[in-house]
Chain A
Amino acid sequence: MAVRPESDARTAAARRGHWRGNLAATAALLAVWAVATFAPIYWARILDRFEFFGWPLAYYMAAQGTLLAYLALVWLYAGIMDRMDRRYHAGRRGR
């Protein structure tokens, strides 16, 4: 990757920041993903004591609720990374 020498230090810092931010966002979203996926399945029999507009709650989560959470997660990731990319380019240009 061709990088001009005068901006080397700035680029290195911007890269470190970008990668760390990326990893933090990935880890956070992954944690939400894991909870949204496995908690309603593991505790399904407990959740089924509650009803959500006719659905037993565990059934509703696996059939709809978890899926909507996934959509939100992917949307969030795209938004967060867009912002981080902009900040990265700004950082490299020294602004």
Chain B
Amino acid sequence: MTTVADARFYRRLSLYYAVYTGGFVAFVLLMALAERMGLGPRYIGYAFMIATVALYAVIGVISRTADVSEYYVAGRRVPAFFNGMATGADWMSAASFLGLAGTLYHGGYQGLAFVVGWTGGFVLVALFLAPYLRRFGQYTIPDFLGARYGGNLPRAIGALGVIVVSFTYVVAQIYGVGIIASRFVGLSLEVGVFVGLAGILVCSFLGGMRAVTWTQVAQYIVLIVAYMTPVVMMSWKVTGVPIPQAAYGTVLRDLGERERALAADPKEIEARALFAERARDLDARINALPWSLEAERRILAQRMVELRERDAPTRELAQTERALMALPGTPAAARDAWSRARDASAAAAAPPVPHAQAHPGKDAQAADAARRNFIALVICLMLGTASLPHILVRYYTTPTVREARRSVFWSLFFIVLLYVTAPAYAVFAKWEVLSHVVGSAIADLPAWVVSWGKLGLVRTNDINGDGILQFAELSLNTDAIVLATPEIAGLPYVVAGLVAAGGLAAALSTADGLLLTIANALAHDVYYRMVEPGASTQRRLVVSKSVLLMVAALATYVATLRPDNILYLVGLAFSLAAATFFPALVMGIFWSRANRWGAVAGMLAGLGTTIAYAAITHPFFGGGMHNAWYDISPIAAGIFGVPAGFAALIVASLLTAAPGAEVRDFVESIRYPADEEDTAGLPFPPRG
């Protein structure tokens, strides 16, 4: 039931993006041809980075705007299909693109918790949130909390929640951009991060939501082409079928057999035993701190003296000196460094778990804990998906409620396209590693081991000294697997460049959406709604843009501090979002008795419980798993936070006065179709 103008707009968009996709594919083929003719890897990397970022910048500049509605919600005329693509890119972050296949590579079945959780959440978005938020039709999520519960307090807590959640998430994206830029353009991680920042800002700064939307559609196309290409090629190579999603079942079965063989291989057992010994040794040293650090220093200094006395070869001397220099300066630093080394050794010492085995554990109790954690993580990721502010605001941008519902379908469709491919990516990558890398001589390992080793993302350690690489002796960083796989599988370098461009698109698109959401929470909810309600439109946009710059700079600074791995940070953001927003949003729509104090109590209880649980169980905050309840790991802290939020919301609402007639009218108004909805979109602006 679109109008004629809408239909024309849709046709024009389709044409533009069809031409764009064709152009991109032609560019990739051209680069492949150039590689054939001798263009070096370094220039291929440059070409992909520069061409794609320049493209996004052009779209960003074309879509610049000074109109408030265009800036915040892209004028509310984004068709469902394109909003689906934009949501897909907004949603699929560095964690999905870079981290997911890596997590599946290491975790096998257990990694599928992310696949199920990150898609299942969209069913909740469709059923509980998207249509109602679109009917409400304002600009931000705190807007909804403010309108539904009244007063500035719920809005302020909502804005705080938006900032905490989105900030954690955006740091992870910028860090991802830094990894890609440092590997493929040869910048240091710190510089790469700032270059990434520039790429993010050209899109969001000039055109707000409007520019972000149309670049996100372009970025989705790049990222899906980039993700599919290596998997299709590996699938063709290994199985002869170019549809990896259908073909990897048999490869998975063969992989399981090979992993069982590895578990019993004598050389592997030897290497694992040596790693276990090293882990025990490091553990003993950690327990004997601070004394052991001093002892270690003395032993090394003593050896230096001995070596000098007997005129030992320079190489041996240099080695010992390096070891002495590398010794941590303080007992605290030693505890940190040695714990990390111990964990790495312990991980290498564990026998490989067959990839497809569900809920592995050494006994029934451990297997049950694995299953509990899997389910808890799935629940947190789903509820988190349904509460992420930067995703929910995307459903404000469709022309009608009906389009918003369809838009959830298209979002999920475009997301599932990548998520059914990720397990195949992991299986083919592992297959390549097991059949071509493991068992080769350390001396002639391929070049990618060196280039990724420089970044510290790939490590080999010939612990048993036999000159052959055992599976236990190879450690691949989770975040590097997707980027390194084209090289591991020996595909043309152009594929590696393409994948890097895809990873960049994924990280940039999500960072754009997040930065805009944070800036809007500050500029729209805090400044305009709470501090200076009389501000002119122009002033609001100026404030929005300056806040955007400041937040981006701050997030970039935090990313240069190299925080914990990407997936963990993002996982925690999900738990936080779920516990803070899900109860207040859903009850606001479905329970008209919920009132302001309920919402305030619910959000605070949810946020507080989640942070407290993560703090007592994660070493980052000084906690440990010995404090865990039901063995639930800190990433799934929301499993306690969400029920706490619901309980606090219900109890506090019932203890205080029922909300007035306006709130009942408000709840009514978002539950039923409006008069004019069957013919066109809601009039804009609707209110306020």
Contact = CB atoms under 8 A, between A and B. Distances in A.
Physical interaction between A and B: yes
User: What interface size band does chain B fall in?
Assistant: 35 or more
A71 interface: yes
Contact of B249 (A41, A55, A62, A66): A55
Given A37-B116, A77-B405, A26 B672 contact: no
Given A41-B375, A67-B419, A85-B673, A62 B115 contact: yes
Nearest to B413: A71
16 contacts: A1-B665, A18-B672, A33-B120, A38-B378, A41-B371, A41-B374, A41-B378, A44-B358, A44-B359, A55-B252, A59-B109, A59-B358, A67-B416, A67-B419, A68-B416, A89-B678
B501 interface: no
Contacts of B251: 54
A54 B252 contact: yes
B120 A37 contact: yes
A70 B358 contact: no
Contact of B123 (A22, A33, A59): A33
B406 interface: yes
A45 B374 CA distance: 13
Nearest to B253: A54
Given A29-B123, A44-B109, A37 B409 contact: no
B402 A75 contact: no
Contacts of A73: 123, 126
Contacts of B253: 51, 54
Contact of B673 (A42, A67, A88): A88
Contacts of B466: none
Given A29-B123, A54-B253, A86 B358 contact: no
B420 A67 contact: yes
B35 interface: no
Contacts of A41: 116, 358, 371, 374-375, 378
A81 B677 CA distance: 13
Contacts of B665: 1
B371 A29 contact: no
Nearest to A64: B420
A70 B412 contact: yes
A63 B371 contact: no
A37 B374 CA distance: 12
Interface string B244-267: 011011111100000000000000
Contacts of A2: 675
B387 interface: no
Interface of A: 1-2, 15, 18-19, 22, 26, 29-30, 33, 37-38, 41-42, 44-45, 47-48, 51-56, 58-60, 62-64, 66-68, 70-71, 73-75, 77-78, 81-82, 85-86, 88-89
Contact of A66 (B120, B356, B671): B120
Contact of B356 (A29, A42, A53, A56): A56
B358 A85 contact: no
Given A1-B669, A38-B375, A64 B245 contact: yes
B491 interface: no
Contacts of A15: 668, 671-672
Contacts of A37: 116, 120, 378, 382
Q: Which 8 A-B pairs have the closest CB atoms?
A: A54-B249, A44-B358, A62-B112, A54-B250, A78-B405, A55-B249, A63-B423, A59-B356
B358 A45 contact: yes
B531 interface: no
Given A45-B358, A67-B419, 6 more contacts: A19-B672, A22-B671, A33-B124, A41-B371, A54-B252, A62-B113
A53 B120 contact: no
Nearest to A25: B127
Contacts of A82: 402, 405
Interface in B105-158: 109, 112-113, 115-116, 119-120, 122-124, 126-128, 131
Interface string B653-676: 000000000000100110111110
A59 B252 contact: yes
Nearest to A15: B672
A66 B668 CA distance: 34
A44 B406 CA distance: 32
B359 A74 contact: no
A62 B252 contact: no
A74 to B, nearest CB: 5
A1 B668 contact: yes
Contacts of A56: 252, 356, 358
Contacts of B669: 1
A63 B250 CA distance: 14
B123 to A, nearest CB: 5
